[in-house]
Amino acid sequence: MSDVDPSLESPPWEEDAPEAEERDPNTDDMFGAPEPAGMREAEAAAAPEPVPAAVAEAPAPKAPKKTTPAPADDGPAAHTDDGEAYTVLARKYRPRTFEDLIGQEAMVRTLTNAFATGRIAHAFMLTGVRGVGKTTTARLLARALNNETDVIERPSLELTAHGRHDAAIMAGQHMDVVEMDAASHTGIDGIRDIIESVRYAPVEARYKVYVLDEVHMLSNQAFNALLKTLEEPPPHAKFIFATTEIRKVPVTILSRCQRFDLRRVEPEILIEHLARIADREGMKIEQDALALIARAAEGSVRDGLSLLDQALVQGEKGETVQTTVVRDMLGLADRSQTIALFEAVMAGRTPEALELFRTLYGYGADPVQVTNDLLEHCHAASVAKMLGPQATRLPNDQAQKLTALGAVISAGTLARVWQMLLKALDEVRRAPNPADAVEMAIVRLAYAADLPGPEEALKALRDGEPMPGGGSAPRGPSGGGGGGASAELAARPVQAPALPDPQSFEQVVALIGEKREVGLQMDVQRYVRPVAFKPGAITYESIQGAPIDLARRLSSRLKEWTGRTWLIAANGQGGGETMIEIDRRKRAEERAQIEADPFIVAVMEAFPGAKIGEIKTLAAPVELPVIPDEAGEED
């Protein structure tokens, strides 16, 4: 027993505290509290030996407190070095103000004027395709209606980052801004809750705003329940609806809303937007690759950003993402190759067209996409025929090719090809093997492209001439007896005499046009300045930018058509004018001659400011045959 009275130094319950301590140093308190510092020091002083390494490294039950990740987590830790999850570009670059909305200038201008004059509707209907910004615009509208800062005390589109309600509204957590997904609340129960709550004034904000996304999914009963409230809402309530299917919204609802159609974003604007975002992300991507992404997005900003997000991971940091990589990622065919396929089809070269398609299919091109491309080329050739190459919105070289193609093909033929391609697209989508359906469509198109139009066939029948076209593929004899007349008519185009050798450079160009070699004809007219010509040999001066294989292609085609070898030399100097330059000069001379005509001069003086537009040569009037007078003959 100790000589010192323990009651003089410490309370009785602490007399045997050191001896009674049996706490495991490797466990925490049962309530999660850390071990007291004094106790740790006492244990360290009393410990005869250091704790073994195996015990010190044993995992504690509360592993989440550790800051160093386990080896098994090296992958995720490397991806999130900063401790934050990656945010996709579509969310990271979501517009924060109305100025950030791209391609919707008309809507922003209308809303700006309405808010400035105080003519703010009580209900808004936002419609458009996916990804153009309907939900984002709805949230921006909710912020603008409740815009409140130290200097702004009324609804305003001048949104700042210091608004009292902005953060809660953008996060979807404001008690006065109710967001409801109509796709998951299609019944009347959700609308009944809105009708009950709309009677009460807002708690914090200026207005109670109800945002209903995909409103077309509501049932008829829900729409009918909403009608009365939407027609006579209280002054403190605003409704914002968003939908991709405006036709499914009842007219009674539309008539009570101010409607805004959010437009598809033009490819040029979307390409610039994607380029800016790629630059902010520190990544480089080719301009043609951005054009492919914008084309695949179909005017949707969100789709474009999602595809850009996928494309940027194709390249390493500091490397440029190539167009070929993006094309493979999207599963698209090279547009220049599909234009070559369209040219081969329109020229009736079936074997070449089939080989081109099989090459594209072998590279992974989708048959449906190839058919869509052919439809786009047919449309572009038709539009360029009427409005010029700038109307196609394609790169210059592609626009020029399709413009030249449209120039040598009649509008009726292009219209027939469009109808056949539309039918082919439906067949490709329904066929068990889409590639086979495309090949059958190519065979059908190549045959039909060489057939005469109704007006050409009528003219040939009237003049007694052989039927033009239709002879690109040889026809075999009739399989049945007694079909001699039909066989003779079918074989007549094949038995047509061969064309003589061209005797001038102009005849060479005309022969190329007759054979519908559109690409070759365009290159010859644009890049060839003839120096010397004789049947079987052409020497010309090549203009800068001419294709390298132009001489070889021209020689091969002329040998195929005439049956003799042609020597084509592109090393001449001092050539004459190209066919395009000659055509431009003749047009200029014709215009100058017309402008100098005394009658035209008098007309221009009589009408100041008048200009001479397009000059056309009218066809000679057709003389109708004289119908005999039957009554006179009888007399």
The top-level CATH class assigned to 505-580 is alpha beta
- Return the ∠ at Cα 597 (arms to 595 and 602), rounded to 5°: 90
pLDDT in tens, 447-465: 776 666 666 666 666 666 6
Question: For residue 68, which amino acid is it?
Answer: T
CA distance 575 to 538: 11
Give pLDDT, residue 1. Answer: 44
DSSP SS3 for 574: coil
pLDDT in tens, 485-522: 333 333 334 333 445 678 888 888 888 888 888 888 88
**Token pair for 556:** 């091969």
Low-confidence residues of the chain: pLDDT under 70: 1-84, 331-334, 395, 449-500, 571-573, 618-635
pLDDT in tens, 274-290: 999 988 888 888 888 88
Crossing angle of the two packed helices 301-312 and 287-297, in degrees rounded to 10:
140
Residue tagged 């299609």 (tokens): 186
Q: Which of 229, 228, 253 is nearest to 241 (CA)?
A: 253
Give pLDDT, residue 584. Answer: 82
pTM: 0.53
Domain boundaries defined on the chain:
6-52, 90-261, 267-330, 335-463, 505-580
Q: How far is CA 7 from CA 13, 19, 41, in A?
A: 10, 17, 25
Backbone torsions φ then ψ of 145, nearest 5 degrees:
-65, -35
The top-level CATH class assigned to 267-330 is mainly alpha
Task: Evaluate whether 90-261 and 267-330 have a shared fold.
Answer: no
The top-level CATH class assigned to 90-261 is alpha beta
What's the whole-number average pLDDT of the chain? 76
Give pLDDT, residue 62. Answer: 42
Write down the architecture of domain 335-463 according to CATH: Up-down Bundle (1.20)
Which own/partner contact pairs does 229-237 have at CB distance under 8 Å and 24+ positions apart?
A: 229/194, 229/195, 229/198, 230/123, 230/256, 230/257, 231/256, 233/122, 233/123, 233/198, 234/198, 234/199, 236/201, 236/202, 236/206, 236/207, 236/208, 237/122, 237/198, 237/207, 237/208, 237/209, 237/210
Cα 266–chain centre separation: 9
Say if CB 177 and CB 183 are below 8 A apart.
Answer: no
CA distance 382 to 402: 9
